[in-house]
Amino acid sequence: MVLQVFFLSEGCSLKDRVRGFFQDESRNTAAVRVGNRTYSKAELNRYFDNRLSEFRDPADADKIKSNLLESFIEDKLLLQEAEGHKVRANEQLLKSMMDNMTSGEEERTGPPDPNKQAELKRDLTESLEMQQYLHDHLLKDISISDAEVEAYYKAHLGDFVRNDLAHVREILVEDPGQARKILESLAQKKNKNFGELARVYSTAPSASEGGDLGTFQRGDLPEDFEKAIFPLAPGTVSKVVRTKYGYHIFMVEEKIAAHQQKLWEVKDQIRERLQQEKERELIDKELASLSARVPVQIHRDKLDFKYIGSRFPAN
């Protein structure tokens, strides 16, 4: 009530000052301590804001924010380790990222806010330093041998079975009578004019490409389409398939039957998967070590949600 009286008597300038007071208070409110460094509630909220753009369900707010809080702490643990190794962000890369992220912003919203620019630069700098530390120190000796790739392939053969593939063309029209006439024309010319008819009559985006939709495997397309397409032999045309978009006619250009992929087909995929697994294992081990020797304290009473995690102590 007191604030309301002030607002009415003093106008917008006082409102702004009061709002600024609470924002300053948030900046000065210690929410988390990692090692000998304290992070404010405002810093934590900015971290959340950058990662909650798709967050909609308030029922999971405590769980999601608790997970993000732990990610925030992990980032700061790695950042402090990077600083201990004298890692510095690449200035040229930092400038390029800043330019890309702020490109056109001034035209849309006017001169950039110096405070926001400083926050963005600090966030990018910290992110680059963490990545550089991981690349140059923690993960630099990881390698995946051909023997490891082969062993993984043999142990996970079921993961590398390729479903039936079909290279498909389509003609889409709005009138069923026109669809029947197109089928008759295709039958007369043994489907050799499919691409030509697609360019002339199809209303689908693929018309300019002669109706070429590309290659699909089972599970990629709607069920009605797959029932019409996958029984077809190469070079043959489907019956008319009606959907809410109109009347479709499909032709299968080529088919590849389901098969077990060879090692040479998937070795790069396996190597990348094993690389990621080893990286994750090393990072988790590093974080466990850092958590054990670097004191972390969460000030539960300063948070605007209930911390329900258990990895870090909270008062």
Collapsed DSSP state (helix, strand, coil) of residue 90: coil
> Is 50 exceeded by the pLDDT of residue 8?
no
**Residue closest to 185 by CA, chosen among 244, 138, 128, 249:** 249
Higher pLDDT, 103 or 179: 179
Contact (CB, 8 A) for 31 and 44: yes
- Residue 54: the pLDDT is 56
Can you read off the two tokens belonging to residue 6?
Answer: 């002030």
Can you read off the two tokens belonging to residue 90?
Answer: 């690449």
pLDDT (mean) for 58-77: 89
Residue-wise burial string across 115-153, b where 16 or more C-beta atoms lie within 10 A, e elsewhere: eeeeebbeebbbebbbebbbeeebeeeeebeeeebeebb
Give the number of residues written for the chain. Answer: 315
pLDDT (mean) for 203-215: 94
**Strand 165-173 with 212-217, pairing:** antiparallel
| pLDDT bracket for residue 28 (50, 70, 90) | low
| Share above pLDDT 70 across residues of the chain, in percent, rounded to a whole number | 87
Long-range CB pairs of 73-77, under 8 A, 24+ apart, other chains included? 73/32, 73/34, 73/296, 73/298, 73/312, 74/287, 75/126, 75/130, 76/32, 76/34, 76/35, 76/37, 76/39, 77/34, 77/35, 77/287, 77/290, 77/291, 77/294, 77/296
Collapsed DSSP state (helix, strand, coil) of residue 258: coil
DSSP 112: P
| pLDDT bracket for residue 114 (50, 70, 90) | confident
- Residue 20: the pLDDT is 46
* Rounded Cα gap, residues 40 and 26, in angstroms: 7
| pLDDT bracket for residue 5 (50, 70, 90) | very low
- Residue 3: the pLDDT is 40
- Residue 313: the pLDDT is 81
**By mean pLDDT, which of 94-103, 156-165, 298-307 is the weakest?**
94-103
Give the pTM: 0.67
Contact (CB, 8 A) for 275 and 142: yes
- Residue 129 has phi, psi (to 5 degrees) of -65, -40
> Is 50 exceeded by the pLDDT of residue 12?
no
* Domain residue limits, the chain: 2-99+114-139+284-302, 161-260
Task: Write the CATH number of the domain with boundaries 161-260.
Answer: 3.10.50.40
**By mean pLDDT, which of 60-64, 108-112, 180-184, 238-242 is the weakest?**
108-112
pLDDT tens-digit map of 120-149: 899 999 999 999 999 999 999 999 999 999
* Rounded Cα gap, residues 211 and 203, in angstroms: 10
pLDDT tens-digit map of 232-273: 999 999 999 999 999 999 999 999 888 899 999 999 999 999
| pLDDT bracket for residue 10 (50, 70, 90) | very low
